[in-house]
Amino acid sequence: MKKLMFFVFVLIAATVTVNASNSSKNKEVIGEWKYEVPSAPYGYNAGTIVIEEKEGKLTGHTKLDDGYKIDLKDVTYEEGVLKFGLYVDYNYVTLKVTIEGENMKGTVNSPDGAMPITAKKVK
- Contact between 52 and 61 (Cβ < 8 Å): no
> How far is Cα 14 from Cα 78, in angstroms, rounded to an integer?
20
Total domains present in the chain? 1
| Residue 83 CA, distance from chain mean position | 6
16-63 pLDDT, tens digit per residue, is: 444 444 456 889 999 999 999 999 999 999 999 999 999 989 999 999
> Is 11 contained in some domain?
no
63-121 pLDDT, tens digit per residue, is: 998 999 999 999 999 999 999 999 999 999 999 999 999 999 999 999 989 999 999 99
> Is 107 contained in some domain?
yes
Domain containing 116 equals 28-121
> Is 4 contained in some domain?
no
Question: What DSSP character marks residue 102?
Answer: T
What CATH number has the domain bearing residue 89?
2.40.128.20
State yes or no: pLDDT of 13 exceeds 50: no
**Measuring CA to CA, how many Å separate 11 from each of 4, 5, 19, 23?**
10, 10, 12, 19
